[in-house]
Amino acid sequence: MIEPSTAEEQPFGAFAPKPFVARIISRTRAAPDNFFGRKSAYALRSIGLRALEGAPVDIEALGAKMRLHPNGNICEKRVLFTPQYFDPIELEMLASRLRDGFTFIDVGANIGAYSLFVAARAGRSARVLAVEPQPDVFARLAYNIAQNPFGTVKAVACALADKPGELTLFIDPANRGESSVRILNSTTASPVKVPATTLLALVESEHYERIDAIKLDVEGAEDLILEPFLRDAPPSLWPGFIIIEDSRLRWQSDLAGLLKRSGYRLVRQTRMNMLFERDPT
């Protein structure tokens, strides 16, 4: 088994899938988006995961080269075996809004799936900011960005919250994508201290004049980020399009209501996310 902390020392291609795993990946990626297709793909995925024995895979997905560690991160498992099922509505709506000079902020970027998807399609004039606080996952994100020629993605190693400083992040070893600054129910979650800043401070430090779209997937802490931003940022900086994980049961306030009162419409609800668009003023 390859230690995740040392895998990024190897050049891309060192973990190309072996023939058996490559055949499984080919079949899972070709599975149709229906009940039987998904059932078949997930059964094959389980076989592929066992065959990998914890090793990463170097592969192309969502238009970008990535090194994916499917063991212990559901996001990477989905992107590796079934990218056709990876937030297809969200990505389609995001892609339909791309334009010259597109600006996108990916909060809770994980290994960069959304960021690299946008970068692969938005062109050289785009600006993509990928924000990820987990040290190990950030290393994977930075590695994936470096394997691609886009030149438009910047990774930032910090958490976003309602005030700057230092936060305790609870790491879920079973699924690193569910790590959060909110206390997790998992008995195996381990705390780690990470630097934090506000969304407004980050945007100002990066000299953004507008935000075309933002994605927030921070496991229930989305309200800690957006509420102070909408309160303190000038409306000219408010994002035009927002993809936000539906964490209404974990938010401490009515964030969806605040967005609607701030001029946003809920344009789509998916199984995992809420998609808001700001009405033209």
Please give the mean pLDDT across all residues of the chain. 92
Judged against a pLDDT cut of 90, whether residue 179 lies above it is answered with no
Residue 209 has pLDDT above 90, yes or no: yes
Mean per-residue pLDDT for 270-281? 90
124 CA to centre of own chain: 21
* Average pLDDT of span 250-272: 95
Q: How far apart are CA 31 and CA 81, in angstroms?
A: 10
2, pLDDT greater than 80: no
186 has pLDDT over 70? no
**Mean pLDDT lowest among 78-87, 89-98, 219-228:** 219-228
Measured CA to CA, the distance from residue 169 to residue 12 in angstroms comes to 30
| CATH topology (fold) of 88-278 | Rossmann fold (3.40.50)
- Please, which residues have CB within 8 angstroms of residue 249's CB and are 6 or more apart in sequence? none
Give the confidence band of 1 by pLDDT, cuts at 50, 70, 90: very low
Q: Which of 91-100, 147-156, 172-181, 211-220 has the lowest mean pLDDT?
A: 172-181
Name the pairing type of β-strands 159-160 and 273-278: unpaired
**Residue 256: both structure tokens together:** 């969806």
Contact 246/272 with Cβ under 8 angstroms?
yes
pTM for this prediction: 0.92
| pLDDT score recorded for residue 174 | 63
The position carrying tokens 């102070």 is 228
Q: Which residues contact 44 (CB under 8 A, 6 or more apart)?
A: 24, 27, 28, 31, 81
pLDDT, residue 8, reads 79
C-alpha 111 chain-centroid distance:
7
Q: What local confidence, expressed as pLDDT, does residue 220 receive?
A: 86
C-alpha distances (whole Å) from 252 to each of 177, 182, 225, 273 are 21, 11, 12, 18
Q: Percent of the chain having pLDDT more than 70?
A: 91
DSSP string, the chain: ---HHHHTTSPTTTTPPPHHHHHHHHHHHT--SSHHHHHHHHHHHHHHHHHHTT--EEEEETTEEEEE--TT-HHHHHHHH-GGGSSHHHHHHHHTT--TT-EEEEET-TTTHHHHHHHHHH-TT-EEEEE---HHHHHHHHHHHHTSS---EEEE--EE-SSSEEEEEEE-TT-GGG-BSSPPS-TT-EEEEEEEE-HHHHHHHTT-S--SEEEE-STT-HHHHHHHHHHHS-GGGS-SEEEEE--TTT-SS-HHHHHHHTTEEEEEE-SSEEEEEEPP-
Closest CA to 46 of 77, 85, 1: 77
Residues of the chain with CATH 3.40.50.150: 88-278
Q: Which is higher by pLDDT, 134 or 170?
A: 134
Average pLDDT, integer, range 80-109: 97
